[in-house]
Each structure stands twice: as C-alpha cells, then as structure tokens.
Amino acid sequence: MSDEHGGPSPQAIRTSRLEAALVTRGLVETNKLDAIVDEHVSARNPDAGARVVARAWTDEAFRRRLLDDADTALQELGLGWAFNFQSTRRFQVIENTATTHNVIVCTLCSCYPTALLGPPPGWYKSDSYRARVVLEPRAVLGEFGLQLDPDIEVRVWDSTAETRYMVMPLRPSGTEDFDLDQLAALISRDALVGVAQAREPEGAAG
Amino acid sequence: MTFEPGTRVRTRVQNPYGHTRLPGYVAGRSGEVVAAQGVFGLPDVAVFGGDQVETVYTVRFAACDLWGDDAEPNATVCADLWATYLEVE
C-alpha cells in the first residue's frame, strides 16, 4: 500500500521498526536482509519484459508460442526462474492489436508481473489507479498521455487470481531493420503495463 | 462445475466471513467465460486452513454490465474467478 499524501506510510514505518527490532536482537543481519531484497526486487527491472516482447516482434513462431503458453515460451529465453518467484503461478502475455488495447491492474491488492518488470511503481499500487482504471480506463489512460480512438476496445485485466499479465504493445512502424536491442529500447515499463504505447523510433515521420 | 469458453455466466453475490477473491464490483454481474487458467486452491477456504482446488476462469464483462449508464463506451474488464464464484446464466 502506498501513501498518496507524501511521507512514509504506516506500513513502511511498521516495517522499519520491525526490522530494527529484529536486527537489535540479533535475529537477522542487515547485510543478509539487503541481499534478499536485492535478489527479489532490486535486481529485477523491465528489461526482461522488454526483451521478451522484442523477441516476439521479430520471431512470429515465438510470438505465437508466447501468446499460447507464456510459461513454456519464457523458459526458451532462460526465464524459467520467473515461475519460482513470489506467488507467481502462471504468466500470460496479452497482445495489443489494431482493434484492442490492453491494460493491467490488481483491484484487490497490487499483483504485478514483478519477475519480468521488477517492483511495481507507486501509482500501480495506489487506491486511485486500482479503483479508477476499471471504471474509467480511457480517462485514466488519457492522464498518462495515451489517447485511444473510440473504435479501439479498451480491455482491462484485473489480476484477481494466480495469473500474472503482461501487455505486448504494438510494434512501431519504421522499425523493420531494428535489432533486438534497438527494439527493446523502445519498450518501457509503462508500455508493458498498458498505460503507454511503445516509443516511436527517433526521426520517424509522424 | 466446468465452464466452456463462450459460456455466459453470472457471478454469485456473496459477503463471506473471512476472505474472498471475488471483487465486489463484479459480484452479481453477467459476463462471458474467455479461458480456463488452471487449477488453484480456493482462497475463501484456504484462509481457514482448508484445501479446495478448483479451476479458475477468465471472465470478460462489458463495462456497461458493471457500471450501467456511467460506463465508458467500448470497454471491457477481464477478471480471473474461481468456479465457486460462477453459475451458468
């Protein structure tokens, strides 16, 4: 739970005091705790998710496998560890198309594809995002700077059970000659959540 | 109870003591089964130490079936729901 009014949340204060008490009593060591946090949170970032999408953009057979069975497809990329992480039980990648735009949320708490994207941003965990994106997704996306045509269906995925979702954004035009690294650089965390599109390449017309 | 993709379902209305993963805003609503997600323990039972495994289904709701006239046009919400939460409409 994040605090939307600035300053540490009651949960953060409680966690901090609990950690201090455990360290004082010699029950945990700060450096070991830091190593665990680093392994599970700090070492993970959206690069993994961006690489998965870049691969799918350039490899049609992989794209189909990824959409059909992400758990198996991700193991091909050496990302099998994703499934032993936290409470994640299953992954599903959902594809934006010319007629459908997808966006993810967890209205019950803050479930998120952390293994592929790193820890969720504060706004993803906020009461405001969780309550509003299911009620008025176009308005929320507009506040992120994403305006969608009225004929595009907005599909909100509420992660209420054991599946964790990640969005595959549309590949920008003008990237036909790009290699995997160049493509991955266009794919932000926000695009993988569905509150943004992939970036247009620099110098692209329009 | 199993639900094939395309089946119209209605979510149950419930307010259990303890815990549930049926969000209030989709309770009692009509939607369409999109896919089965696999078999997982029902949290409503697990919270009391029980073990009741069931299929979880992705159900797609039209925004107008959740929010009425206040819904935005051309929007849908998908939620993953345990079989216990669903009944054929």
Interface contacts (A, B; CB < 8 Å):
72
- A7 versus B66: the higher-pLDDT residue is B66
Maximum distance among all Cα pairs of chain A, rounded to whole angstroms: 62
Any A CB within 8 A of B79 CB: yes
| Residue A108 with chain B: CB contacts under 8 Å | 21, 23
Indicate if A42 belongs to the active site.
Answer: no
pLDDT in tens, B18-27: 999 999 999 9
Question: Looking at A32-41, A121-130, B42-51, which range is the least confident one?
Answer: A32-41
Which chain B positions have a beta carbon within 8 Å of A155's beta carbon? Answer: 60, 75-78
Structure tokens at A140: 């929320």
Q: Which of B25, B37, B66 sits opposite A161 (nearest CB)?
A: B37
- What are the C-alpha distances in Å from A88 to residues A7, A111, A191, B84? 30, 9, 21, 22
pLDDT reported for residue B72: 97
What ipTM goes with this model?
0.97
Position A82 scores a pLDDT of 59
Tell me the residue type at A6: G
For the cut 70, the answer to whether the pLDDT of residue A84 exceeds it is no
Q: Which of A195, A189, A196, A198 has its CA nearest to residue A49?
A: A189
Return the percentage of chain A with pLDDT > 90, whole number. Answer: 71
- Between chains, do A163 and B80 touch, taking CB under 8 Å as contact? yes
Cβ neighbours around A139 below 10 Å, total: 11
Helix (H) or strand (E) holding A1: none
Tell whether B53 lies on the interface with A, counting CB pairs under 8 A: no
Pairing of the two strands B8-11 and B86-88: antiparallel
Per-residue pLDDT tens over the stretch B63-82: 999 999 999 999 999 999 99
Tell me which of A87-96, A104-113, B19-28 is least confident: A87-96
SS3 A5: coil
What's the pLDDT score for residue A135? 98
Q: In whole angstroms, what is the distance from residue A169 CA to residue A95 CA?
A: 7
Distance CA A108, CA A37 (A): 24
Tokens 């045509």 correspond to A149
- Tell me whether residues A135 and B81 touch, CB distance under 8 A: no
For chain B, where are the E strands, in sequence order?
A: 8-11, 30-41, 53-62, 75-82, 86-88
Structure tokens at B46: 């697990």
The conformation of residue A78, written as its DSSP 8-state character, comes to T
Interface residue A89 vs chain B (CB under 8 A): yes
CB-CB under 8 Å, A137 with B80 = no
CB-based contact B25 A134, cutoff 8 Å: yes
- pLDDT of A96 reads 98
Contacts of A151 in chain B (CB under 8 A): 74
For residues A131-146, average pLDDT:
98
Per-residue confidence (pLDDT) for residue B74, from 0 to 100 = 97
- Cα B78–chain centre separation: 9
CA distance A77 to A200: 26
Question: What 3-state DSSP class applies to B87?
Answer: strand
pTM of the shown model: 0.89
Q: Please tell me which residue of chain A has the smallest CA distance to B36.
A: A163
Tell me what the mean pLDDT of segment A48-64 comes to.
97
Cα angle for residues A156, A159, A161 (degrees, 5° grid): 145
